[in-house]
Amino acid sequence: MIKYSIIFPGQGSQSVGMLADLAANFASVKTTFEQANDALGFDLWKLVQTDQDALNQTKNTQPAMLAAGYATYQILDNEADLAPICLAGHSLGEYTALVAAGALDFADGIKLVRHRAELMQAAVASGVGAMAAILGLDDEVVTQVCADYSGAGIVEAANFNSSGQVVISGNAQAVEATCEALKAAGAKRALLLPVSVPSHCSLMADAASEFANALSDTKFMLGTVDVLHNFDAKKADDVEDMRVKLAAQLHNPVLWTGCVKELHKLGAEKLIEAGPGKVLTGLTRRIEKSLTANAASNMQDIMAILEEIQ
């Protein structure tokens, strides 16, 4: 039997109308979103289906992606004996993984990521921060060029997404200047991303300190399935270690390449990306050529995966 790991996408994979076809075929999707509605106090499903601008607001994107990823996971888990050997998620997706693993209650998770998003949005004024994707350079080169920046503000490597793909984050002017320096160093492309929050860099340090209080007030458990954390690509030793890693994730880089390599090391032969989009599926082969991945973002995807498993 193939050994599976389930991975969950983060911000950037959302789209208006997502999961509509799954909701038409599986009642559990609407049930999940009704639970999210109760936790948030507004109709998240209606927002997801009708309002792209509202969906793209960080405070809405994060709970929407958690609900969508968890609803997709529930379909897979209810319809087949997945028995995943481990779970992981990219940035916000880490929380979806914790909910799926039983380490975090769904309603608590929804409220927690909403608060996380609000803290992130408030940490840096609009227009002050930026992020950019750097393609075609080794991780070490990107890290060094960022370290060499000597102007005003900060710029740091934020996401190590795959070999030759690193996202940088920081003050807008510093990010733009570093993009030019990275192109001069040989980057194939340096693309500014359409985001308002410079995630996973030291500009989020104050938000992380405040968020640690919310984490302390939230009940966590060691789940039934191990979850790899973005901070160090390792599972938590205990509940307190989990909280520490989640707070640190806000202002430290996402080690996604490390997470995928660790999943492979643990014995995973195939990854299933549960939730909207196919970003992580596309990254998998670039990270570990012997690993395959399938997206589970719509009805056609789900049926193909279930047929393979059964």
CA pair distance 229, 208, nearest whole angstrom: 16
Residue 200 bears catalytic tag: yes
What is the rounded end-to-end Cα distance, in angstroms, of the chain? 10
- DSSP at 254: B
Residue 229 bears catalytic tag: no
CA pair distance 207, 186, nearest whole angstrom: 34
* Candidate list 5, 90, 162, 200, residue with the active-site label: 200
* SS3 state of residue 108: helix
Write the single-letter amino acid at 291.
L
CA pair distance 91, 89, nearest whole angstrom: 6
Position of tokens 């350079």? 137
Write the single-letter amino acid at 2.
I
Query: For residues 44 and 68, is the Cβ–Cβ distance under 8 A?
Result: no
Give the pairing of strands 189-192 and 129-135.
antiparallel
* Candidate list 5, 13, 91, 199, residue with the active-site label: 91
CA pair distance 89, 73, nearest whole angstrom: 12
Query: Which of 150, 6, 187, 195 shows the shortest CA–CA distance to 84?
Result: 6
Residues carrying an active site annotation:
91, 200
